[in-house]
Amino acid sequence: MKSKTITRREKKNQLTLEWAEYYLAQGFSVIPLLPKEKKPAIQWKKYQKRRPTKDELVEWFSDGENNIGIVTGKISGIAVVDLDSDAALEFANQNAFAETPTVRTGKGHHLYYMYPADSEVRNFQKRDDLPGIDLRGDGGYVVAPPSIHSSGTAYEWIDGQGLNDLPLSTEFPDMILTKKAEKTPIKELLRGVPEGQRNDSLFRAVCGLMKVGSNYADCLNYAYWFNERNIPPLPDDEVKRTVKGIFDRYREQKSVSQFSDPIYMQKTKILDLDHFDYATVLWKGKDLQKQDAKIEWVVDSILPKQSITLFHGRGGIGKTWLALQIGEAVAKGTPLFERTTQAMPVYYIDLENSFPVLVERIKKLKIQEINFWHNSSDTPPPKIDSADWIVYKEKLPPGLLIVDTLRAFQSQDENDSKHMAAVMGNLKTIRDKGFTIILLHHTPKNNERTYKGSTAIFDLCDHVLSIHGSKGPDGGEDDDLFGKYRWFGTKDKTRYMPFHMSLMFDTDEIFVEVKGPDVEDSENIRLSITKLIVNNDRLPMQSEVVDAIVESTELSKSRVQKLLIQGDKVFWTSKKGGIKNKKVYQPVFDFSKLIYKSDTGKLNFDDKTFDLLEKYLLWEGKDFIKSKPHRRIQFDDLYIAQVNSLLNCLKI
């Protein structure tokens, strides 16, 4: 028997997997990176806490395409010094960095050291006291051999300095772990600085003034004033040029806090354009498709994780009751309306309700696990636009944060777009720390189906939920039957998935979901609505629909009234527009159930209602037919072409 010939490709595939398995055997946590890139091919955070399995390695590396990444820090027992330039290598030689396993990279070297037992090693990039040197510790990773650089060069262990040649050095360079010296406080700088420090002190002082709202003229005058204390002072034209340059750059960046924040400047490389590499920040769509990134739900299909959700409704509609139900279900990890929840800490910030009212509702709902911070506390919850707002992101473990209400959570006019944009900006900062946020919010007096206040609130949230009443047959919301019903769902905006449901207050004053009508009932109601339209040449009023359905079915009047509420926006739609502007109904047909028969060239509806549907569509298109009588015959062809096109799009 002839032995199988192993191709070069198969050798590469085998080699990549073998290297990954070798690194795992060394105790390293390994992750896949995109081919010829540094970007992870998966969501890799969990591999900072656990190492992958051999099965995972086979899944990632058996085809030989992906690059190999090694997670640094305590999980792998290593910290890696990245020498990214010839100057950095020279710096390491001059400071006698200890010999240790070393990788030749695309532009420099990676020095693998044993993780220091008595220190915590965090990542850093581009420290100005360590030119061309980066550090990868906890929360970082490095590209490992035999990965391929974007230039086509392979990462490789230097001869005689591989993991099998040298032990990981325990002599980690002291200057790498030593924190950069603290900056001199601005108030000290204002007393005057010597030559060599004048421009830096001027920059920091002007940025500090801008943070408290000083305008250009004030900043320039102050700059002249404290420049006189420098030894020697800068020329006045240089001071003016520097202040103008700061203001011009600030206008470009839109945020003085970002512009003057060295971490922000480091991340965006605003001050290091010579070294900016666009390939490190841009993603191709095909690469993003490979990412193991999925939307997570705190409450399945209702509340997306790590989002800002605006939840609006008029006063007294039940926002707080429902928010408490949501919070308790999440705190316990128990289903809500038969939907799964993701258990997490829940914090309820109540600045709206009196303490006795809150306690009464907690007792009625038997709330046990929510953490409450009430406005009557000795230390009341800080407002989001106060100096203490950072307590939420710094001191609370990430979880679900429910704010009751947004209006009470900030101190200025909710119609002020600039202020509300800043408020939402602070909330986004909290969100990005891992929080999911629900903002209870009021509606205008004349419209319970929209939010109140500046458009900045709507623009900067991620998800909008609304709760409002469902009106009875006579339009009365306080009717014994209809006053208990609520419409709850997404409204106008969501970055996720739209939904809606019918809810009802039960006798214990908790919300329960009201299931929609079954298929047979909904079909009977929809057909009755359609017949009324065809026979009367207009949309029927609610009372006509109820009477027609009761007459043609065995359903009772009260049952039909309930079903009309439950099936609204699913099987039919309702709107005001009839006699005396009363509610009228129109059917909703699911065109995905239409079947096109190629042998007859006709469409059939699977529930045998096509004839009625055709008449209804002819009625709906009567303006088209009336305006162009000679095309009456062509209307069917037009309709068939439109639906057939829809079917093709839906791939039915």
Reported as a single tens digit per residue, the pLDDT across 447-467 is 777 788 888 899 999 999 999
333-348 pLDDT, tens digit each: 999 998 999 999 999 9
Specify whether 154 is located in the same domain as 191.
no
Considering 144, 177, 210, which residue would you say is the last residue of a domain? 177
- In eight-state DSSP terms, residue 64 is S
CB atoms within 10 A of CB 232: 10
278 within a domain of the structure (yes/no): no
Lowest pLDDT segment from 167-171, 358-362, 520-524, 565-569: 520-524
25 within a domain of the structure (yes/no): yes
Residue 161 has pLDDT above 90, yes or no: yes
Residue 124 has pLDDT above 60, yes or no: yes
Specify whether 173 is located in the same domain as 239.
no
More confidently predicted of 605 and 46: 46
Residue carrying the six token digits 């980690």: 172
CA separation, residue 249 to residues 214, 234, 238, 244, 258 (Å): 16, 21, 16, 9, 11
When pLDDT is averaged across residues 252-269 and rounded to a whole number, the result is 40
HSE of 75, CA atoms in CB hemisphere, 13 A: 24
Q: What pLDDT shows up at residue 353? A: 93
Lowest pLDDT segment from 368-382, 449-463, 547-561: 547-561
Specify whether 21 is located in the same domain as 153.
yes
Residue carrying the six token digits 């993603």: 283
When pLDDT is averaged across residues 25-34 and rounded to a whole number, the result is 94
For residue 107, what is the domain's CATH number? 3.30.720.160
508 within a domain of the structure (yes/no): no
Specify whether 448 is located in the same domain as 331.
yes
Specify whether 25 is located in the same domain as 173.
yes
Residue 624 has pLDDT above 70, yes or no: no
Per the structure, the complete domain to which residue 639 belongs is given by 591-650
**CA-based Rg of the chain, rounded to a whole angstrom?**
33
When pLDDT is averaged across residues 382-411 and rounded to a whole number, the result is 93
Residue 570 has pLDDT above 90, yes or no: no
Residue 119 has pLDDT above 70, yes or no: yes
Specify whether 144 is located in the same domain as 204.
no
Please report which confidence band the pLDDT of residue 273 belongs to, taking 50, 70 and 90 as the band edges.
low
- Structural tokens at position 452: 């109140």
In this structure, the strands spanning 602-605 and 594-597 are antiparallel
Specify whether 239 is located in the same domain as 100.
no
| Cα distance between residue 385 and residue 351, in whole Å | 14
When pLDDT is averaged across residues 310-321 and rounded to a whole number, the result is 92
More confidently predicted of 12 and 29: 29
Please report which confidence band the pLDDT of residue 403 belongs to, taking 50, 70 and 90 as the band edges.
very high
Residue 365 has pLDDT above 60, yes or no: yes
505 within a domain of the structure (yes/no): no
Instruction: Find the DSSP H helices in 434-580.
Output: 455-460, 519-536, 542-552, 557-566
Specify whether 347 is located in the same domain as 199.
no
When pLDDT is averaged across residues 154-169 and rounded to a whole number, the result is 93
Per-residue burial over 193-214, b if 16 or more Cβ lie within 10 Å, else e, is beeeebeebbebbbbbbbeeee
Q: What pLDDT shows up at residue 369? A: 95
Query: Would you list the DSSP string of 553-611?
Result: SS--HHHHHHHHHHTBTTTEEEEE-SGGG-EEEEE---GGGEEEETTTTEEEETTS-HH
Residue 117 has pLDDT above 70, yes or no: yes
Cβ within 8 Å of residue 577, ≥6 positions away: 539, 584
Considering 559, 587, 615, which residue would you say is the last residue of a domain? 587
Q: What pLDDT shows up at residue 106? A: 80
| Cα distance between residue 566 and residue 559, in whole Å | 11
- In eight-state DSSP terms, residue 36 is T
Nearest CA among 50, 44, 45, 55 for reference residue 20: 55
When pLDDT is averaged across residues 368-387 and rounded to a whole number, the result is 94
CA separation, residue 615 to residues 322, 545, 588, 593 (Å): 44, 19, 15, 18
Average pLDDT of the chain to the nearest whole number? 79
Q: What pLDDT shows up at residue 652? A: 34
Specify whether 356 is located in the same domain as 448.
yes
CA separation, residue 316 to residues 320, 438, 586 (Å): 9, 18, 31
What percentage of the chain has pLDDT greater than the value 70? 75
2 within a domain of the structure (yes/no): no
Phi, psi of 318 (to 5 degrees): 120, 20
When pLDDT is averaged across residues 249-264 and rounded to a whole number, the result is 45
Q: Which amino acid is at 549?
A: I
Q: What pLDDT shows up at residue 515? A: 67
476 within a domain of the structure (yes/no): no
More confidently predicted of 242 and 3: 242
- In eight-state DSSP terms, residue 194 is B
Considering 147, 177, 207, which residue would you say is the last residue of a domain? 177
107, 84 contact by CB (below 8 A): yes
49 within a domain of the structure (yes/no): yes
Helix-helix angle 557-566:519-536, to 10 degrees = 90
Phi, psi of 194 (to 5 degrees): -80, 175
538 within a domain of the structure (yes/no): yes
When pLDDT is averaged across residues 45-72 and rounded to a whole number, the result is 93
461, 310 contact by CB (below 8 A): yes
Residue 275 has pLDDT above 80, yes or no: no
179-203 pLDDT, tens digit each: 554 556 666 666 788 877 788 788 8
Specify whether 577 is located in the same domain as 633.
no
When pLDDT is averaged across residues 354-380 and rounded to a whole number, the result is 94
Domain tally for the chain?
5
| Top-confidence range, 24-33, 466-475, 623-632 | 24-33
Specify whether 329 is located in the same domain as 393.
yes
303, 326 contact by CB (below 8 A): yes
Specify whether 18 is located in the same domain as 39.
yes
Nearest CA among 229, 102, 232, 87 for reference residue 162: 102
Residue 109 has pLDDT above 70, yes or no: yes
Query: Which is it for the CA torsion 58, 62, 63, 68, positive or negative?
Result: positive
